[in-house]
Amino acid sequence: MTPDAPAAGAVNVITGRGIPLRGDDIDTDRIMPARFLRATSFDGLERHLFEDDRATRPDHPFNDARFAGATLLVVNSNFGCGSSREHAPQGLARSGIRAIVGESFSEIFQGNAAMLGVPCFAAERQAIERLQTLIEQTPDLTIAARVDSGLITAGPLRLTATLPAALRDGFLSGQWNPTAMLLDRFDEVRAVASRLPYLNGF
């Protein structure tokens, strides 16, 4: 059975095995090539994660049985740049990824992942590389990432990562999906609309 995207509710401690994916500027066209956007639902996207990279690189981590079933993806800098397609984090979430740890992320990607309940933790390059090496050496290692403190522990390794404050608070309170909040005080939305010159004939 395919794991679905995370269920609603608070997100704090994420534990599981890791999968290291090295490289800067990995864009969303590589995570989810455009031809897989030819669909009216997100179902089954997990099958096409990194499809082209995997075809050209047999040693791609997402081809490697040792990392199958991993929960935490460990990447380098500017992960998820390029297209705003939510299909990229959808594919990752549907493949069971519950948290991403990396040097930095594109804003749109980080926001899209957050909307699915998947936190993107940022940490320094050295710490990330050590974590990637450790996972490559011991793929069975259980890793824990904490949203509240930003602490990530993996065997002997402890590193501190950060999340934007608003996203962190959203995960902890379970309100990482903001639609209900946005609809909460709709009179205030109407009030703003009634003040905007371009909605009121200037």
- Give the footprint of other proteins on this chain (CB under 8 A): 23-25, 27, 29-30, 33-35, 37-42, 52-53, 55-56, 77-78, 81-87, 89, 104, 106-108, 111-112, 115-116, 164-167, 169-170, 173, 175, 177-179, 181-183, 185-186, 188-189, 192-193, 195-199, 201-202
Task: For other proteins, give the closer residue by CB, 54 or 142.
Answer: 54
Q: Please report, as a single letter, which amino acid is at residue 23.
A: G
Task: For other proteins, give the closer residue by CB, 38 or 140.
Answer: 38
Q: Which of 120, 43, 116 is nearest to 77 (CA)?
A: 120
Chain Cα centroid distance, residue 194: 37
User: Which residues, in sequence order, are CB contacts of 74 under 8 Å at separation 6+?
Assistant: 18, 19, 20, 21, 100, 101, 102, 128, 131, 132, 135
Task: For other proteins, give the closer residue by CB, 28 or 95.
Answer: 28
For the bound state, the minimum distance from the C-beta of residue 69 to other proteins, rounded and expressed in Å, comes to: 25
Task: For other proteins, give the closer residue by CB, 118 or 154.
Answer: 118
Task: For other proteins, give the closer residue by CB, 17 or 85.
Answer: 85
For the bound state, the minimum distance from the C-beta of residue 4 to other proteins, rounded and expressed in Å, comes to: 14
**Alpha-carbon span 28 to 49, nearest angstrom:** 10
For the bound state, the minimum distance from the C-beta of residue 8 to other proteins, rounded and expressed in Å, comes to: 12
Considering just the CA atoms, what is the radius of gyration of the chain in Å?
18
For the bound state, the minimum distance from the C-beta of residue 153 to other proteins, rounded and expressed in Å, comes to: 26
For the bound state, the minimum distance from the C-beta of residue 64 to other proteins, rounded and expressed in Å, comes to: 19
Kind and range of the H or E element at 158?
A: strand 157-160
Classify the C-alpha dihedral 179-94-64-135 as positive or negative: positive
